[in-house]
Structure 1
Amino acid sequence: MSDKAELIFALIVGLCGISSLLYFAHACFYALFMNIREKIRGLSSKLVPCNVCGHEVSKTAIICPSCGESFGRDNTSSIAESMFAMFVLGVFTSALAVYLIIVMFEPAQELYLLFTSK
C-alpha cells in the first residue's frame, strides 16, 4: 500500500511541476510575441508622458527633468522586454517539461501495473 501512495504522491508532485513549467514557458513565449508585435507596429516608444506634468520623459528616467517627479524605478530594463531572454527561457522550460514527462512515464507505468494486478 505504501508503494502505491508514494507513486501517487510522486506523480501528483511531478504533474504539478510539469504544469508550472509549461505555464512559465507559455508566459515567456507570450512575452516574446508581444515584444515582436510592439517592434513591428512601432509601439515601443522610448518616451512616456510624465504622470504629473505630462512632458515626454525617457522610459529609463528616474525623475522627470521638467517637474522633478520621481518615478521610483532604476535604469535597468525588464527581462520581459528582452526577446532573446524570453526565447531562451521559453525553450529551456519547455525542454525541461518534456524531459520530466519522459522521466515520469516509468513511475506511471508502475502505478498502472500496481492497480491492475490482482
Structure 2
Amino acid sequence: MINKIDTAKAPAAIGPYSQAIKVGNTLYLSGQLPIDPATGEFPSEDIKEQTARSLENIKAILAEAGTNLTKVVKTTVLLKNISDFAAMNEVYGEYFNGTCPARAAYQVAALPKDALVEIEAIAMID
C-alpha cells in the first residue's frame, strides 16, 4: 500500500509531488529546500543555515511518519556550489552521527527558488 505523508511543519510541495511517500516500511522523502514553513522564505543566504533548515524540514516529515533521523538510510544532497560542501557537511554532521546514512552529494546548475541546497532522504519505519 502507498501512503502519502504531509505535515504543516515542513513546507508544502511547490509542484505535483508529495512531501513523502510510505511504501511498506520504507519512506521516500522528496528533496527539501531550506524553506521555513512558517514564513515561506529561506532563513538566510548562508549555506549552513540553509542546510539546517532543509534538515529540520526532513525531521518534521520523518516525525509525521513516526520515525526519525536515526532511521535514515540514504540521502542525496544537491548543492548550488560544490565549494559549499565543507560548510554543508559540518552542519550535516550535527544531524547525523554514529552510523550515518549512505550519501551522495552533487553540484547542480540551479535549484528551485535559487536555493543553495536541497536534501532528499530515504528512511525505514518500524
**TM-score if structure 2 supplies the norm length?**
0.24
Decide which structure has the larger Cα Rg and report it.
Answer: 1
Q: Give the helix-richer structure, 1 or 2.
A: 1
Q: Give the strand-richer structure, 1 or 2.
A: 2
**TM-score if structure 1 supplies the norm length?**
0.26
